[in-house]
Amino acid sequence: MSDQHPERQATTPELAARATVLLPLLRRYFLNRTDRVAILAPWGKPCPVEVVGSLDGLLLGHLLGDAAPEAEVKYTNTGGSGTLNGRFRVGSYAPSLDDRTRLLCLDFDGPGHSNALADPLDAATKARDASVEVGLPVYLERSGGGQDWHIWCFFERPIPAGKTQELGRSLAPKGALLANGQTADASANRGIEVFPKQKSRNSGFGNFVWLACRMGWTSYRQVEPRCFGGPRSGGCSR
C-alpha cells in the first residue's frame, strides 16, 4: 500500500494539538491489551512487541511519524530477540487476555488484495446503513492507500469476541461481489474481513488490526476525533 497522499503539510502546533486529542482515543477505543502490540517492523512485516518505556511514546510515532521522538520496543521471533528504536505503525491484537474486545472492525478489501471487492465503498456503505438502521453507531474510514474501507464499532465495555464476530457478520452485506465475479463471504473473511478473527486467542496473540489515524496515511485525515464521539449516524467524509 502506498502512503503518498498529496495534502497540505500540518504545522508542528497542529500536529501536537491533534495528537493531544487522538492519543487518549487510541488508548480508550482501540487497544484490547497493552502488554503486546503489533508494529510494522523494519523488515516489512508485522511483529508483536513489548513496549520499553511509555506506550504513549510508541503511539505518538504512529500518529505523528517523524515529528515524534523515537520509541523503543522488544521483540522475539524465530530469528532471535532484540530491541528496535523508531517511529512505527502500530496495530492492536484481539481478543484480549480474557477473550473480549473493545471494538469490531469490518475491512472491505480493495484492489491489490487476492479477494478484492468489485466496489468496496458500496459494500462498506451498505454495512454502515444496516448498522444505522438498528441504532448501532459505526464509523466509516478510508484506508489502505485509499483503496480499502473500514467500518469501526466501539463498545462501552469489552464484550466476548465470539459475539463480536456474530455482530460483524450480520452487518456485512449479503451478495457483495468480488472483482473476479464471485461472491464475498464475511464468514470466511473473503473480500470482507471481520476483526477479531478469533473467538479465543488460545494462549497466543490473536489477530491484529492496524490502528486508525496513521500519520501520512489516508486514515489520518479521514478519521477525525468526531468519529469517536460524534453523531450516531457515524460520518467520516467519504
pTM exceeding the 0.75 threshold for the entire prediction: yes
Considering the domain architecture, whether residues 110 and 162 belong to the same structural domain is answered as: yes
Considering the domain architecture, whether residues 30 and 115 belong to the same structural domain is answered as: no
Q: Please, which pLDDT band fits residue 10 given cuts at 50, 70 and 90?
A: low
User: How many domains is the chain partitioned into structurally?
Assistant: 2
Q: Decide if pLDDT at 59 tops 70.
A: yes
pLDDT at 216: 54
- Report the DSSP beta bridge partners of residue 107: 150, 193
Among residues 65, 92, 119, which one ends one of the domains?
A: 92
**HEC-encoded secondary structure of 170-228:** HHCCCCCEECCCCECEHHHCECEEEECCCCCCCCCCCEEEECCCCCCCHHHHHCCHHHH
List pLDDT tens digits, range 110-127. Answer: 999 999 999 999 999 999
Taking alpha carbons only, the member of 173, 166, 182, 220 closest to residue 236 is 220
Considering the domain architecture, whether residues 25 and 87 belong to the same structural domain is answered as: yes
CATH number of 106's domain? 3.90.920.20
| Structural domain harbouring 168 | 98-200
DSSP code, position 154: E
Q: Please, which pLDDT band fits residue 13 given cuts at 50, 70 and 90?
A: confident
Cβ-Cβ contacts under 8 Å for 77 (sequence gap 6 or more): 47
